[in-house]
Amino acid sequence: MSAIENKVVMVTGASSGLGKALAVALLDQGARVAATFRRQDQADAFTAGAEGRGLGVVLDVTDAGAVELGVAKVLEQFGRIDVLANNAGAGLVGAIEETSEADAQRLFDVNFFGGLRMIRAVLPAMRAQRSGHILQFSAIGGFTGVAGLGVYAAAKAATDILGEGLAKELAPLGIKTTVLTIGIFETEFAGSSLRYVNAEIDDYKDTPAAAFRGFIGNLQGSQPNDAARGAQAIIQLMAAGEPPVHAALGADAIEVMETKMAAVKQDLRGWESNARSVQKVAA
């Protein structure tokens, strides 16, 4: 028996991309899977094809009532939730100034508050079990600011830090937390599902923000990472007895993380005397 077999895993955002690949791979490895979708026909198809080991749930993470009802259905069906894969998210390309307040709020509602709603809904059951594992699906943009993707990156960074706080709060209760810094995968994130800001400002046309728009617009089909392989890597983390708090997914993610950590260290050392100058002088 594999370490993941018969575990109950709830995967949000399973209609496409990494979430879909993960839900399928988990079923193949004997897990019981509750997968969330935005449409009833998708949920019904997943349930029908899962041979009693899967449950498709219609759930919009921006709807608190739907989240509560969805988690209740999973607990009624399986009696427990061992792992929450907090994958559901949405992106938006544009400079920060070009991003409307309404679009910024929507990004945070899906990427940050949606995940927070899921966490709050599953934690009572996990606390009662004194076990569980929450995986926060962050991204390269959640670890470092990205020109042209700034508000999305900020929402993912909030997701990242939330996971770090959770890890400290939940460890005494036997619940693990892993923050995934996810690289660029061959999914529809850079394709038909990606949204762009409505208003472009001319002053940004020759800046990194505009360059990113061109980069991601031509990325579909040439992403470096494979979703099926990503799913297997995530399952290894789920199966680990002591999973890490931080995990990269993709060589590109490792490179971005190491580059930022080196740059931060360089800034700290270069301005260390200035930083220390604020300390009180002993009387």
d(CA 189, CA 192): 7
- Average pLDDT of the residues in 215-242: 85
Output DSSP code: residue 202. Answer: G
Number of domains in the chain: 1
Nearest CA among 41, 18, 145 for reference residue 89: 18
Computed from CA positions of residues 44, 50, 52, 55, in that sequence, does the dihedral angle turn out positive or negative?
negative
Q: Is the pLDDT of residue 131 over 70?
A: yes
- Decide: residue 216, CB within 10 A, 0-12 exposed, 13-18 middle, 19+ buried: buried
- Average pLDDT of the residues in 79-86: 98
pLDDT for position 2:
75
Beta bridge partners of 93: 196
* 223 CA to centre of own chain: 18
pLDDT for position 190:
47
d(CA 247, CA 262): 18
Average pLDDT score, the chain? 93
pLDDT in tens, 55-64: 999 999 999 9
pLDDT for position 187:
58
Least confident of 182-186, 225-229, 249-253, 272-276: 182-186
- Name the one residue in this structure whose structure tokens are 């579909």: 220
| Domain membership flag for residue 266 | no
- Average pLDDT of the residues in 105-117: 97
pLDDT for position 18:
94
pLDDT for position 282:
84
Beta bridge partners of 10: 34, 84
| Domain membership flag for residue 65 | yes
| Domain membership flag for residue 33 | yes
pLDDT for position 191:
47
- Tell me the backbone φ, ψ of residue 100, rounded to 5 degrees: -70, 160
| Domain membership flag for residue 283 | no
| Domain membership flag for residue 262 | no
CATH of the domain at 69: 3.40.50.720
> Which positions ≥6 away from 160 have C-beta within 8 Å?
136, 138, 142, 143, 179, 181
- Average pLDDT of the residues in 120-124: 98
- Residues spanned by the domain of 224: 8-252
- Name the one residue in this structure whose structure tokens are 């996810």: 182
- Name the one residue in this structure whose structure tokens are 């997968």: 35
pLDDT for position 193:
60
- Average pLDDT of the residues in 112-133: 98
Active-site annotation, residues: 138, 152, 156
| Domain membership flag for residue 79 | yes
| Domain membership flag for residue 47 | yes
Q: Is the pLDDT of residue 31 over 70?
A: yes
| Domain membership flag for residue 56 | yes
